[in-house]
């Protein structure tokens, strides 16, 4: 018997990386998974791989009309919604003096507006379903500062406190809300992060394994499955007494500097 048997779960940005691992894990543990993304080829391939009634929906998470359509389609095809994994997001690594207002607003729109819309439009169906669990994807950058990532950290810090506030608002609805804070996780996003020329030193893709050797106390990068395991627990009834929490999965990064060892 799976840990989320009979539940319906929506994973935004679910076609690759952490989202893909979450979708596969939830499906393996008994959930009917709805994957939304803008990458139709990967999304459709993933639902075909999962089978078992998995659904793919094209979705730009910053479009409110599309959110209304997506939730209506979930209700039509699945009848309910028990789990929301609000995972869609982007990273733009640029020193703040070099960042354009356009890039600032784009990152804010996807990482914050998209999360706001995910909650606003999913909660009514979750309420009708009798409650549920919302997992908002933040980052260790939402817990501490990071040079070159001020704009990204602002969005992820916003997700953290948005999650805590909404958790308090939704207790009467029997809907739990928690935030997930990954550290350095080896996913395709590292090859997609645009970097500014001044102050960053390069525009080449970042190797998460090499970065982890220097920045992570455990000395290694995490894998998407490490985050999916935490999401599974938050989605399941095993975490029924947990809301408003920050789950940090970072190999010890938030514990301190890995080089200050005795």
**Contact indicator for 171, 123 with CB cutoff of 8 Å:** no
Phi/psi-derived region of residue 126, left when phi > 0, alpha when psi is between -120 and 50, beta in every other case: alpha
Q: Which DSSP helix (H) or strand (E) runs through 119?
A: helix 114-128
Q: Which two tokens stand for residue 233?
A: 């627990």
CA dihedral 14, 227, 122, 240 (to 10 degrees): 150
What's the count of helices (H) and strands (E) in the chain, helices before strands?
Answer: 8, 9
CA dihedral 108, 113, 115, 118 (to 10 degrees): -160
Q: Which DSSP helix (H) or strand (E) runs through 262?
A: none
Q: Say which residue the tokens 């919302």 belong to.
A: 134
Q: How far is CA 125 from the centre of its chain?
A: 20
**Contact indicator for 163, 244 with CB cutoff of 8 Å:** yes
User: Does 56 qualify as catalytic in the annotation?
Assistant: no
What's the alpha-carbon Rg for the chain, to the nearest Å? 18
Q: Which two tokens stand for residue 81?
A: 């919604």
The residue from 56, 152, 209, 241 that is catalytic is 152
Q: Is 145 exposed, middle or buried (0-12, 13-18, 19+ CB in 10 A)?
A: exposed
| Strand pairing category for 185-186 and 8-12 | unpaired
Find, among 180, 91, 90, the residue nearest to 134 by Cα. Answer: 180
- Confirm whether pTM is higher than 0.95: no
pLDDT in tens, the chain (262 residues): 899 999 999 999 999 999 999 999 999 999 999 999 999 999 999 999 999 899 999 999 999 999 999 999 999 999 999 999 999 999 999 999 999 999 999 999 999 999 999 999 999 999 999 999 999 999 999 999 988 999 999 999 999 999 999 999 999 999 999 999 999 998 876 655 555 434 344 455 678 778 788 889 899 999 999 999 999 999 999 999 999 999 999 999 999 876 644 3
**Contact indicator for 38, 13 with CB cutoff of 8 Å:** no
Instruction: Please list the residues that pair with 66 across neighbouring strands.
Output: none
């Amino acid at each position: 018997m799976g840990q989320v048997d009979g539940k319906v779960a929506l994973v935004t940005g679910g076609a690759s990386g952490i989202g893909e691992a979450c979708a596969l894990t939830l499906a393996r543990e008994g959930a009917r998974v709805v994957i939304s993304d803008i990458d139709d080829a990967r999304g459709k391939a993933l639902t075909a791989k999962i089978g078992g009634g998995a659904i793919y929906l094209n979705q730009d998470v910053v479009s409110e009309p599309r959110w209304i359509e997506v939730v209506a389609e979930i209700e039509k095809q699945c009848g309910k919604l028990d789990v929301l994994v609000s995972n869609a997001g982007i990273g733009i690594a640029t020193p703040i003096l070099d960042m354009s207002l356009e890039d600032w607003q784009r990152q804010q729109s996807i990482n914050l507006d998209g999360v706001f819309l995910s909650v606003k439009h999913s909660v009514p169906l979750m309420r009708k379903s009798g409650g549920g669990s919302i997992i908002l994807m933040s980052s260790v950058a939402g817990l501490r500062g990071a040079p070159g990532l001020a704009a990204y950290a602002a969005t992820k810090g916003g997700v953290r406190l948005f999650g805590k506030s909404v958790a308090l608002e939704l207790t009467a609805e029997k809907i739990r809300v928690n935030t997930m804070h990954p550290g350095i996780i080896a996913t395709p996003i590292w090859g997609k992060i645009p970097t500014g020329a001044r102050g960053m030193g390069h525009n080449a893709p970042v190797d998460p394994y090499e970065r982890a050797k220097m920045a992570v106390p455990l000395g290694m990068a995490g894998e998407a499955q490490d985050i999916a395991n935490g999401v599974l627990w938050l989605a399941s009834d095993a975490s029924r007494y947990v809301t408003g929490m920050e789950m940090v999965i970072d190999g010890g990064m938030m514990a301190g500097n890995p080089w200050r060892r005795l």
